[in-house]
Amino acid sequence: MPKRASLFVTCVVDQVFPSVGLAMAEVLERLGWQLDFPEAQTCCGQPAFNSGYRAQARKVALHFLDVFRDAEYIVVPSGSCTSMISHHFEELFAGDSARLAETHALAPRVYEFSRFLTEVAGAEDVGARMDAVATYHDSCHALRELHIKDAPRRLLRKVRGLELREMDIADECCGFGGTFSVKFADVSGAMARTKIDSIARTGAGLVVSIDSSCLMQIQGALSRAGLPIRTLHLAEVLASR
């Protein structure tokens, strides 16, 4: 039986960080998974949901359900988008029993990438190599809504040549928060600067996370501060050899 999974790459990866999607595909194929990319996919609806626009979020969520209804597994390179689908879709469809049933049938098949690797694919060592000192940023929704804390770290520890150094505030928000980053730009920027100070204190040259939007915030702040530290999505680290 071939192992099949569908990719939901998220709007941010599709439009801004396509290399993350390719890296994720490469790692999964290396482990023998046959991948499918439903081309009608767009977004999970979170931008509208988090801004209070429920009707618009519902439309986008319905589109997601339509696109992924028959998928066996859905792998997502983001804790935040995964949580939107597996936790918040049911709030969107609270009054609609048919959609609610679909959501409940779909939710257990949606996996954040690192959780999929460790829990479904049963892999920790994916044969990656990268010579770097890295620190891992816990993205908030992965950590607090999906309780993903160890899986990415276990995967990183198996990367040859990579040293993992914890920062003192790994679990503190980077300040992105979707539209919060522009509605309260000063606060968001200040939060990012606190985060990159902690990153710099580790002496690491690389920040790894499982959410590209956090990395967009962190890399944006690092680049603005002129710090020679780069950011990579976990998938990009694991794809490297």
Partner 1 sequence: MTPLVQIRETIANAGLQQAIYASTGRLMDKRRHAVAPEVFPDYQELRSQANLLKRHTLEHLDFYLEQFENNVAARGGKVIWCRTPGEVADFILGLAREREARLVVKSKSMTTEELHLNERLEQHGLEAVETDLGEYIIQLAGQRPYHIVAPALHMTRYDVADLFTGKLRIEKETAPEKQTLIARGVLRQKFLSADIGISGANFLVADSGAVVLVENEGNARLTTSAPPIHIAVAGIEKMIPRAQDLAVFLRLLGSSATGQALTVYTSFLAGPRRPLELDGPDEFYVVLLDGGRTRLLADAERRQSLFCIRCGACLNHCPVYRKIGGHNYPWVYSGPIGAIITPQFHGIDRDPWLPYASSLCGACAEVCPVKIDIPKLLLDLRADVTTRTRRGLAERFAFRMYAWLATSPALFGFAGRVAALLAPSNTWIKRLPWFLNVGPVAKWISQRDLPPPPAKSFRRLWKERKRHAA
Residue 52: count of CB within 10 angstroms of its CB: 9
Task: Extract the runs of DSSP E, i.e. beta strands, from the chain.
Answer: 3-7, 33-36, 74-76, 110-112, 129-136, 160-164, 206-209, 230-233
Residue reference for tokens 């509605």: 183
Binding residues among 33-52 for partner 1 as defined by CB under 8 A: 37, 39-43, 45, 47-52
Q: What is the CA radius of gyration of the chain?
A: 18
Distance, CA of 33 to CA of 215 (rounded, Å): 27
Q: Does 127 contact partner 1 by CB under 8 A?
A: no
User: What is the maximum alpha-carbon separation in the chain?
Assistant: 53
Nearer to partner 1, 8 or 111 (CB): 8
CB of 57 to partner 1, least distance (A): 8
Scanning 99-107, 113-121, 127-135, 188-196 for contacts with partner 1 by CB under 8 A, the matching segment is 188-196
Token pair for 153: 């770290």
Binding residues among 195-224 for partner 1 as defined by CB under 8 A: 216-217, 219-221, 223-224
Of 63, 109, 153, 154, the residue at the interface with partner 1 (CB under 8 A) is 63
CB of 169 to partner 1, least distance (A): 9
Q: Does 173 contact partner 1 by CB under 8 A?
A: yes
Q: Does 56 contact partner 1 by CB under 8 A?
A: yes
Q: Tell me the three state secondary structure of residue 206.
A: strand
Q: For residues 166 and 208, is the Cβ–Cβ distance under 8 A?
A: no
Q: Does 181 contact partner 1 by CB under 8 A?
A: yes
Nearer to partner 1, 157 or 183 (CB): 183
Scanning 68-76, 107-115, 129-137, 168-176 for contacts with partner 1 by CB under 8 A, the matching segment is 168-176
Nearer to partner 1, 159 or 173 (CB): 173
Q: For residues 162 and 156, is the Cβ–Cβ distance under 8 A?
A: yes
**Within 13 Å and on the Cβ side, how many CA atoms surround 52?**
1
Given the rule CB under 8 A, which residues bind partner 1?
9, 11, 13-19, 21-22, 25, 37, 39-43, 45, 47-57, 59-60, 62-63, 91, 140-141, 144-145, 171-173, 175-192, 194, 216-217, 219-221, 223-224
